[in-house]
Structure 1
């Protein structure tokens, strides 16, 4: 089995299109999406239409949940922007997404952690930075999830953690946003995704970082009134606060 794993698109349609084009060359059995699909000052409705048409197995991220459930007046700025630019049909699609799902008894999908879409499964929240969780912390956050492969997103940080001979956790990184101030800093604007391959009962992984027209995304953010997104989209380094 070969899976392509994407997460945290945040409405960055050019990044998604570039990632999808490369994924097609790998001919995976399935593409899965770990959520936070639309929130941000980029192309929320266009990205929604793309994802709805592709109909990949998708779990709901914390920003997806906010767009589907929160009153607009209580949303943060990037969610509120996306909400104003989404059709009701697209918001209904977000509302229909499950919080978690299992592809098989061996493969579990979540956005943050199995129990909470805002909990960082592989990292700890240091207030203004992430740092890696210990083995014990990861095990506690996993709980008793019955899987040999757990796929998560949320921190935009590509990582593979071998929890035990029975269990591996994969975060593919973010398709669309490579820098959050003080938290995620990948140091390059390349779009991220991962390939997970199971052969002879064992999993192997490839973390991918690919080129796309990130200058168009930076210009779009600035034109939308979010100039503080432009630096991160262009460089992979955070400038000022761009939301979390």
Structure 2
């Protein structure tokens, strides 16, 4: 088994296309998508059409928290990134979103979720201190969130931080990083920043060997400045900076 894991596209169709091209060049057909597909001041509509085509072929997708907001929140109550995406999406995209599961077990041995099994808005592998520092979550807390999951490979996104954590029983949790948003800030649970320091699109390639799952974290270059200029045109200087530099 060899497949790709993507997450947190956030409407960045150019980054998604670059990642899909890289996946194809590696000869990989199967893709799992960990959600947060559209939210952002970019190209939700084009991203949606690409994902619909992908799902018809070989993709498995779970719903992210921002995907849920697009379904559950009235447009005039959405935050700016979600509101921009909502205005671009067509009925076919919303129909696709409604069909996505919260979690999924794929091929018996791979567990998929956006953030954690019970909460789509909680960092699994990271914690935020009271003064806004984002660090690796203590091992015991990570393992507690994995309780009851039988699969030997667990995939999550949400934090946009590419990371691999091995549990004491040998299970792996992998966050492939973000395809389309290399940096952001947030005010929950307290104000904090997540910054990769680069403008590359991130994803993971995972192979099952006779010794277990072997994940490789990959990055792909694309025309990130075109997306940065689009974000600036759409009055989002925070996104423009993130897409240009990987910092906010």
Cα distance in 1, alignment partners of residues 18 and 159 from structure 2: 21
In structure 2, distance between residues paired with 1:164 and 1:3 = 25
8 Å CA contact 1:7–1:193 kept in 2: the answer is yes
Q: CA RMSD in A?
A: 1.2
- Residue 29 of structure 1 and its aligned partner are, at CA, apart by 4.6
**TM-score, normalized by length of structure 2?**
0.93
- Which one of 153, 158, 167 corresponds to residue 154 of structure 1? 158
Q: CA deviation at 1:164?
A: 2.7
Other structure's SS at 1:57 match: strand
1:31-51: CA deviations, max 9, x gaps? 110000000000001100000
Deviation per CA, 1:131-168, whole angstroms, max 9, x where unpaired? 11111100111221121000000000000001134310
SS at match of 2:195: coil
The match for 1:198 among 208, 225, 235 is 208
Q: Is the 8 A contact 1:129 1:184 kept in 2?
A: no
Secondary structure of the structure 2 residue equivalent to 1:208: strand
Contact 1:9 1:36 in 2 (8 A): yes
Report the counterpart of residue 179 of structure 2 in structure 1: 175
Q: How many Å separate the matches in 2 of 1:158 and 1:27?
A: 22
SS of alignment partner, residue 62 of structure 2: coil
**Residues 172 and 147 of structure 1: CA distance in aligned 2, closer, same or farther (over 3 Å):** same
In structure 2, what is the Cα distance between the partners aligned to 1:178 and 1:5? Answer: 16
SS across alignment from 2:41:
coil
Give yes or no for the alignment of 1:26 onto 2:26.
yes
Cα distance in 2 between the residues matched to 1:115 and 1:29: 29
1:135-150 aligned within 5 A? 135-150=139-154
1:219 match: 229
CA distance in 2, matches of 1:156, 1:92: 26
Write out the 4+ residue segments of structure 1 that deviate beyond 2 Å after TM superposition: 125-129
> What is the TM-score with the length of structure 1 in the denominator?
0.94
DSSP-derived class of the 1:63 partner = helix
Report the CA distance between 1:223 and its aligned residue: 1.3
Aligned partners of 1:68 and 1:92 also within 8 Å: no
2:15 counterpart of 1:11: no
Aligned residue for 1:93? 96
Which residue in 2 is equivalent to 1:241?
A: none
Post-superposition Cα deviations, 1:54-87, rounded to whole Å, max 9, x if no partner, equal 1010000000000011111221111011111111
Contact 1:121 1:142 (8 Å CA) reproduced? no
CA distance in 2, matches of 1:41, 1:29: 29
Q: Does residue 1:42 correspond to 2:42, yes or no?
A: yes
User: Residue 197 of structure 1 aligns to a residue in which SS?
Assistant: strand
Distance 2:109 2:92 in 1: 33
| Count, aligned residues | 238
| Partner SS, residue 39 of structure 1 | coil
C-alpha distance in 2 between matches for 1:104 and 1:26: 21
Aligned to 2:84: 81
Which runs of no fewer than 5 residues in structure 1 stay unpaired?
A: 239-244
